């Protein structure tokens, strides 16, 4: 029986595969978890035989472990996204159809080596942010089953948070790829509209729908997003895009006190305040901005003519089978019948006016940090008041697709009652890649989440003034690793990630009693270990000297030997600094140690 980590992340699974565990063994353990997870999380589970057939097909075309970007990574798909061989229900059994082909996004992920395990539950026709509007049951918050999971991508968030899938696809029109992430303490990646194909996706509001990724970390979610995205000529709303940069030191916008509505949830308010403090400690400049035009745009999604766009998506089915719909979903969508063409134009005019007003606020900031949801509710309360309480959840999310934004939701703490809270970073169109570094640092600084963020490495961006042969390389082993709390000390000096590496066998690793926590690496000739995971980064000569000069004792820079026989400058620890330290060599690296510690293992 293969022992899987509590949370399935890419690095841990890749390490298992590199050590000889087979994908068949991993998928057998995943299948066991599928059977014991929240029964409402899945609408359709793939059989063990079908999953193992995909494993055999993977090994036939890519036999070497980790030879494809997502080699052997189990994933799940929201059941409004087509998968050949499984019905697409959109949460409505009478609507079900059998697609002949995978949705474009599913096809790309499977080609990259990911293994599909099933289709997940959702608020019917992706109409809702709470997860209770499904005839297949209401998935629950993994931390307290009396509370909602969030929606509409309810099942996708739950299976990632429960350690059943390494990542999962959702969709996001009003916040459905972010709110469930917050309620289940995981990461939600919402790409800018048009970057990821929606071919093979049942539309909610087709003009602004986005396919999203749930994962344990920003690193994993962005890795999946990079593979999923790309221009699709079959999708009329797909765009050819280029990544937009963000400054190294970010101006992060937060709403003024008059716009910080938490509906009496003082615990969430306090956690948001703490998140602002962490963002500032990470080097961001906090700027108060006027959220009003964003809030008014958000209200248009359910109060304006975009309700009629939901009607347009399923009108023939609704006309023929009205009783097949969840009563709340039916009431919302049928509200579109009252909208006229003139209403549609008035709504479009109003949205453009609000976008223009928001330009003045965007000029003040590089991105926004908002509560992902200002409140959470029990399933019982939501069923008693399904519209008003649901509307609360979208207060800070609904505007993002209207404004073409990129967004990443990350965990940001727990209330005393044990309920998770999250924040979202939102930035202008196509800053998806640039936004990742700060999102990962914010996740790491919070010290919570299904898994602490790990492995994030923004692609190196070479410029004429920073040619690689004019730069110096350094190996980092702990708090300066990508996604870790001090990584900004590298990136803030213009450092570029080069590659992951491992030390020679005769190194030992210790957890030091420092703040923030750091490891100490020492060399012991003759020690027969497996080496320690490190990352190699490059800096300009002046930045290298400035960085090294700021390193506090007992750490320093020495010559580090790697397992490929090469050597380069890297972090080492003075022997005197090991007094009282715990040896963690067996974990193979700092990130593995933190993952184990934070999962309670």
- Average pLDDT on 159-188 reads 97
Secondary structure class of 171 (helix, strand, coil): strand
pLDDT at 454 over 50: no
Instruction: Report the alpha-carbon distance of residue 423 to residue 372 in Å, rounded.
Output: 5
Q: Which tokens belong to 56?
A: 């055999």
Delimit the CATH 3.10.490.10 region(s) of the chain: 464-599
Closest to 114 (Cα-Cα) out of 40, 244, 13: 13
Ramachandran region, residue 560 (left: φ > 0; alpha: ψ -120 to 50; beta: rest): beta
Which pLDDT score, from 0 to 100, does residue 465 have? Answer: 33
**Residue whose C-alpha is closest to residue 522's, from 565, 476, 572:** 572
Q: Is the pLDDT of residue 571 over 90?
A: yes
Residue 476 CB burial class (10 angstroms; 0-12, 13-18, ≥19): buried
* Average pLDDT of the chain, as a whole number: 92
- Of the listed ranges 96-105, 281-290, 491-500, the least confidently predicted one is 491-500
Q: What is the mean pLDDT of residues 499-512?
A: 91
Q: Active-site residue among 78, 107, 119, 518? A: 78
Decide if 197 is catalytic. no
Find the mean pLDDT for residues 284-300.
Answer: 97
Told to judge if 217 belongs to the known catalytic residues of this protein, a careful annotator would answer: no
Give the integer Cα–Cα distance in Å for 196 and 239. 9
Contact criterion met (CB below 8 Å) for 311 and 333: yes
Confidence of residue 452 (pLDDT cuts 50, 70, 90): low
- Which segment of 274-288, 401-415, 424-438, 480-494 scores lowest on mean pLDDT? 480-494
In angstroms, rounded to a whole number, what is the distance separating the alpha carbons of residues 128 and 382? Answer: 11
pTM reported for the whole predicted model: 0.77
Annotation marks residue 78 as catalytic: yes
The CA–CA distances, whole Å, from 289 to 256, 280, 293, 402, 506 equal 6, 16, 10, 19, 53
What are the tens digits of pLDDT across the range 372-419? Answer: 999 999 999 999 999 999 999 999 999 999 999 999 999 999 999 999
pLDDT of residue 564: 84
pLDDT at residue 601 is higher than 80: no
CATH domain 10-246+370-446 topology:
Amidase signature (AS) enzymes (3.90.1300)
What are the E-state strand segments in 278-383? 285-289, 367-371
The stretch 505-518 carries a mean pLDDT of: 90
What b/e string do you get for 307-343 counting C-beta neighbours within 10 Å, with b at 16 or more?
bbbbbebbeebbeeeeeebbebbbebbbebeebeeee
How confident is residue 483, by pLDDT bands cut at 50, 70 and 90?
A: low
464-599: CATH topology:
Hypothetical upf0131 protein ytfp (3.10.490)
Give residue 304's pLDDT. Answer: 80
Which one is catalytic: 134, 154, 156, 176? 176
Pairing of strands 582-583, 507-512: antiparallel
Q: What is the pLDDT of residues 418-434, one digit of tens each?
A: 999 999 999 999 999 99
- Listed in order, the ranges of the chain carrying CATH 3.90.1300.10 are 10-246+370-446
How far from 572 is each of 60, 472, 529, 554, 559, CA to CA, in Å? 43, 17, 17, 9, 8
Torsion of CA 8, 9, 11, 13, to 10 degrees: 30
Q: Which whole number is the average pLDDT over 301-306?
A: 88
d(CA 77, CA 82) in angstroms, rounded, equals 8
Contacts of 521 (CB under 8 A, 6+ apart): 477, 478, 503, 507, 508, 509, 510, 532, 560, 570, 571, 572, 573
Q: What is the mean pLDDT of residues 331-347?
A: 96
Our CA dihedral for 348, 225, 30, 85, rounded to 10 degrees, sits at: 60
pLDDT of residue 1: 60
Determine the Cα–Cα distance for residues 141 and 162; give it in Å rounded to an integer: 10
The string of pLDDT tens digits covering residues 117-152 is: 999 999 999 999 999 999 999 999 999 999 999 999
User: Given 134, 149, 152, 373, which residue is catalytic?
Assistant: 152
């Amino acid at each position: 029986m293969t022992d899987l980590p509590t949370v399935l992340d890419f690095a841990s699974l890749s390490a298992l595969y590199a050590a000889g565990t087979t994908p068949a063994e991993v998928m057998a353990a995943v299948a066991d978890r599928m059977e014991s997870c929240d029964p409402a999380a899945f609408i359709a589970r793939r059989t063990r035989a079908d999953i193992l057939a995909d494993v055999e097909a993977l090994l036939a075309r890519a036999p070497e472990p980790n030879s494809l970007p997502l080699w052997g990574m189990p994933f799940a798909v929201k059941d409004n996204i087509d998968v050949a061989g499984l019905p697409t229900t959109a949460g409505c059994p009478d609507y079900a159809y059998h697609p002949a082909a995978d949705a474009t996004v599913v096809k790309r992920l499977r080609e990259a080596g990911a293994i599909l395990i099933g289709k997940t539950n959702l608020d019917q026709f992706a109409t809702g942010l709470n997860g209770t509007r499904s005839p297949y049951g209401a998935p629950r918050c993994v931390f307290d089953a009396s509370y909602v999971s969030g929606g509409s991508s309810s099942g996708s968030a739950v299976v990632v948070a429960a350690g059943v899938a390494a990542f999962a696809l959702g969709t996001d029109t009003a916040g459905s790829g972010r709110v469930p992430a917050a309620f289940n303490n995981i990461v939600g990646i919402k790409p800018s509209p048009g970057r990821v194909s929606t071919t093979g996706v049942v539309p909610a509001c087709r003009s602004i729908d986005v396919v999203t990724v749930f994962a344990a970390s920003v690193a994993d979610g962005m890795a999946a997003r990079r593979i999923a995205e790309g221009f699709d000529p079959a999708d009329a709303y797909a765009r050819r895009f280029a990544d937009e940069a963000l400054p190294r030191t970010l101006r992060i916008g937060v709403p003024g006190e008059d716009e910080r509505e938490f509906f009496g949830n003082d615990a969430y308010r306090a956690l948001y305040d703490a998140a602002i403090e962490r963002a500032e400690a990470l080097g961001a400049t906090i700027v108060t901005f006027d959220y009003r035009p964003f809030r008014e745009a958000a209200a248009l999604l359910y109060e304006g003519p975009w309700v009629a766009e939901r009607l347009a998506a399923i009108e023939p089915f609704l006309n023929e089978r009205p009783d097949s719909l969840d009563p709340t979903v039916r009431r919302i969508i049928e509200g579109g019948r009252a909208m006229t063409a003139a209403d549609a134009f008035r709504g479009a005019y109003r949205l453009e006016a609000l976008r223009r007003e928001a330009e003045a606020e965007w000029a003040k900031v590089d991105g926004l940090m908002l509560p992902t949801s200002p409140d959470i509710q029990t399933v019982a309360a939501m069923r008693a008041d399904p519209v008003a309480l649901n509307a609360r959840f979208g207060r800070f999310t609904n505007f993002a697709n209207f404004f073409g934004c990129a967004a990443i939701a990350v965990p940001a703490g727990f209330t005393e009652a044990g309920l998770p809270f999250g924040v979202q970073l939102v930035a202008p169109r196509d800053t998806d890649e640039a936004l990742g570094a700060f999102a990962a640092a914010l996740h790491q600084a919070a010290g919570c989440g299904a898994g602490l963020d790990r492995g994030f490495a923004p692609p190196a961006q070479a410029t004429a003034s920073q040619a690689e042969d004019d730069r110096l390389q350094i190996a980092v082993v702990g708090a300066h690793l990508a996604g870790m709390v001090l990584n900004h000390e590298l990136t803030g000096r213009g450092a570029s990630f080069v590659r992951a590496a491992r030390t020679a066998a005769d190194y030992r690793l210790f957890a030091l009693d420092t703040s923030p926590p750091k490891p100490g690496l020492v060399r012991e000739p003759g020690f027969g270990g497996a080496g320690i995971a490190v990352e190699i980064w490059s800096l300009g000569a002046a930045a290298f000297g400035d960085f090294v000069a700021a390193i506090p004792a007992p750490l320093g820079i020495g010559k580090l030997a790697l397992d490929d026989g090469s050597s380069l400058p890297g972090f080492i620890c003075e022997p005197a600094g090991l007094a009282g330290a715990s040896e963690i060599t067996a974990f193979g690296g700092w990130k593995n140690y933190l993952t184990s510690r934070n999962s309670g293992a």
